[in-house]
Amino acid sequence: MAFSVTTQIWSSIAELSLSSLIIGTFVVLIGSTVAPAVYDAYFGPLSKFAGPKLRAMSSIPQAVSIFRGREHEDYVTLHKKYGKVVRVAPNELSFVGGATVWKDVLGFKKSGTSNFPKCPRFYGGQLLERPNSFLANADDAEHSKLRRVVSHAFADRSLHDVEHRLLHWARNFKRRLDGMQAGHDSIDMVKLYNCGTFDVMGDLAFNEDLGMLADGNESEWVTNIFKGIKQSSYVRGVKDLHDSLWYFIDNVVMKMPEARREVGKTLEFTNERLEKRLNNPPARPDLWSQIIAKGIGEQALDRAEHQGLAFFFMVAGTETTASALSAITFFLLCNPNYTKQLQEELRSTFSTFEDLSFSKLGRLKYLNAVIQEGLRMYPPVPIALPRRTPAEGAQVDGQYIPGNVVCSIPHYSTYRSPEHFAEPNEFRPERWLGDPKYTDDNLDAVEPFHVGPRNCVGKNLAWHEMRLFLATAYTFFDLTVTEDSRDWLAQNQVFTVWQKPPLWCRVNSASVV
CATH number (domain holding residue 233): 1.10.630.10
**What does DSSP assign to residue 123?**
-
d(CA 499, CA 501): 7
Classified as helix, coil or strand, 40 is helix
Q: What is the pLDDT of residue 77?
A: 98
Phi, psi of 413 (to 5 degrees): -65, -40
**439, pLDDT greater than 80:** yes
pLDDT of 328 over the 90 cut: yes
Confidence of residue 180 (pLDDT cuts 50, 70, 90): confident
C-alpha separations of 46 from 25, 143, 212, 250, 396 in Å: 30, 31, 50, 28, 14
Q: Is 188 inside any structural domain?
A: yes
- Predicted confidence band of residue 200 (pLDDT cuts 50, 70, 90): very high
**Sign of the dihedral defined by the CA atoms of residues 467, 473, 479, 485, in that order:** negative
Does the predicted model carry a pTM greater than 0.95?
no
CB 458 within 8 A of CB 154: yes
Residue 303's SS3 state is helix
CB of 474 closer than 8 Å to CB of 339: yes
CA distance 253 to 486: 41
What is the pLDDT, as a whole number, of residue 10? 46
In a domain, 4, yes or no: no
Residue 360 maps to a domain: yes
41-84: pLDDT as tens digits: 888 999 999 999 999 999 999 999 999 999 999 999 999 999 99
Structure confidence at residue 13 as a pLDDT band (50, 70, 90): very low
Whole-angstrom Cα distance, residue 183 to residue 357?
28
Structural domain for 340, as ranges: 47-509
Q: Is 456 annotated as a binding residue?
A: yes
Q: pLDDT by residue (tens digit) across 268-299?
A: 888 899 999 989 888 888 888 888 887 666 67
Our count of domains for the chain comes to 1
pLDDT digits (tens, 9 = 90+) for 115-150: 899 888 787 655 666 766 777 888 888 888 888 888
Is the Cβ–Cβ distance between 49 and 86 less than 8 Å?
Answer: yes
From the centroid of its chain, how far is CA 334? 25
Quick check: is 450 in a domain?
yes
Give domain status of residue 109, yes or no: yes
Q: What is the pLDDT of residue 362?
A: 97
| Residue 11 domain-assigned (yes or no) | no
> What Å distances lie between residue 180 and 187, 188, 413, 513, CA to CA?
8, 11, 38, 22
Summarize pLDDT for 254-269 with one digit per residue, the tens: 677 766 676 677 888 8
pLDDT band at 347 (very low <50, low <70, confident <90, very high): very high
29 inside domain:
no
Arithmetic mean of pLDDT, 486-507: 96
pLDDT surpassing 80 at residue 181? no
pLDDT digits (tens, 9 = 90+) for 355-364: 999 999 999 9
Instruction: Flag whether 396 is in a domain.
Output: yes
Give the model's confidence band at 36: pLDDT under 50 very low, under 70 low, under 90 confident, else very high.
Answer: confident
Give the pLDDT mean for 422-451. Answer: 97
CA–CA distance, 84 with 413 (Å, rounded to integer) = 10
